[in-house]
Amino acid sequence: MLNSSRGRSQTRSTRSMPFVVMEPDPKTKSNVVGKILMVAALTALCVIMLKQSPSFKEVPHVLVTGGAGYIGSHAALRLLKENYRVSIVDNLSRGNMGAVKVLQGLFPEPGRLQFIYAGLGDAKAVDKIFLENAFDAVMHFAAVIYVGESTMDPLRYYHNITSNTLTVLKLMAAHGVPTLIYSSTCATYGEPEKMPITEETPQTSCEHVPTNPYGKVKKMAEDMILDFSKSFDMAIMILRYFNVIGSDLEGRLGEAPRPELRDQG
Ligand SMILES: NC(=O)c1ccc[n+]([C@@H]2O[C@H](COP(=O)([O-])OP(=O)(O)OC[C@H]3O[C@@H](n4cnc5c(N)ncnc54)[C@H](O)[C@@H]3O)[C@@H](O)[C@H]2O)c1
């Protein structure tokens, strides 16, 4: 009813002014353009001021690679809960945009959480991300993670893990990011004689080396990080965990492996 009566009155008014020339008044037009420009300039100014204000700068900004994935999304949630600013970079090759949406819903305030769709293999794109953001730390989770798949497609693992970690390290150094937390794995231990594996268990000895490409490339990435940290002033931490289970206690995040990869672990 409402729509049709509106339609009728529109037709009537159009009919009633066939001779009126509807030239926009140049003054009004330039006024509107001026107002739009003013609003745009003010918005830009606000963003610049916000970014430069001490309170905004004081909040540490963490880059979480692979933050759309299982562990990365939980780490991002924890960081956000602890009031950090978080940027997630993920190419969604394995991750789950749903997890990012959950985080965006929980922390909608401007500047708290940024999602950047990019692959770490694209060094130029990643360089731009570092250039545009002054990160205080990187938590590097992004990786392909399946032992079985790594034996069938090892080069993918060398590229995705070893080569991309090299890119992350180089860009952190180039942009002066002082802290790296690296997500490694128990697969770097191979098959030690003595169980359980402890902090003292050697990762490699003559007999025991990682037994699959996934473990090998993760170990390589660790070695690169350790060697690099000796000559460059960077605080590093390497987490080696064993099959992670569980989820956010409120059930908002979880593990969502692709069905076709479920038996590749
Ligand atoms: N899940 C475990 O039990 C476990 C155990 C030990 C170590 N880890 C390590 O923890 C990290 C995270 O594992 P997860 O279980 O959360 O895996 P996941 O597959 O859920 O998450 C990995 C994320 O990285 C992203 N990614 C992959 N390659 C990328 C690239 N080139 N550029 C950008 N993003 C990319 C994926 O899209 C995905 O969102 C990995 O480094 C893995 O080796 C996991």
Residue type, 46: C
For the chain, the domains span: 28-58, 60-251
Q: Indicate the average pLDDT of the chain.
A: 84
Query: pLDDT by residue (tens digit) across 101-140?
Result: 999 999 999 999 999 999 999 999 999 999 999 999 999 9
- Which of 71, 164, 186, 188, when mutated, tests ligand 1's pocket best, judged by the most ligand atoms within 8 Å of its CB? 71
- 182-221 burial code (b ≥16 CB/10 A, e <16): bbbbbbbbbeeeeeebeeebebeeeeeebebbbbbbbbbb
> Ligand 1 center to residue 70 CA distance, Å?
7
Tokens representing 66? 């692979």
Query: Tokens representing 102?
Result: 């959950």
What does residue 204 show for φ and ψ, rounded to 5 degrees? -135, 140
The SS3 of residue 116 is strand
Whole-angstrom Cα distance, residue 107 to residue 76? 11
Residue 108, classed as helix, strand or coil, is coil
Active-site residue identified among 157, 158, 214, 241: 214
Global pTM reads: 0.81
3-class SS of residue 261: helix
Mean of the pLDDT values across residues 168-182?
97
Of the pLDDT bands very low, low, confident and very high (cuts 50, 70, 90), residue 40 is low
The predicted structure's pLDDT at residue 27: 60
What separation, in Å, do the N-terminal and C-terminal C-alpha atoms of the chain show?
61
Give the three-class secondary structure for 102: helix
**Fold of the 60-251 domain:** Rossmann fold (3.40.50)
User: Catalytic site residue 189?
Assistant: no
Determine the Cα–Cα distance for residues 146 and 213; give it in Å rounded to an integer. 10
Strand stretches in 97-215, DSSP E:
113-117, 137-140, 179-185
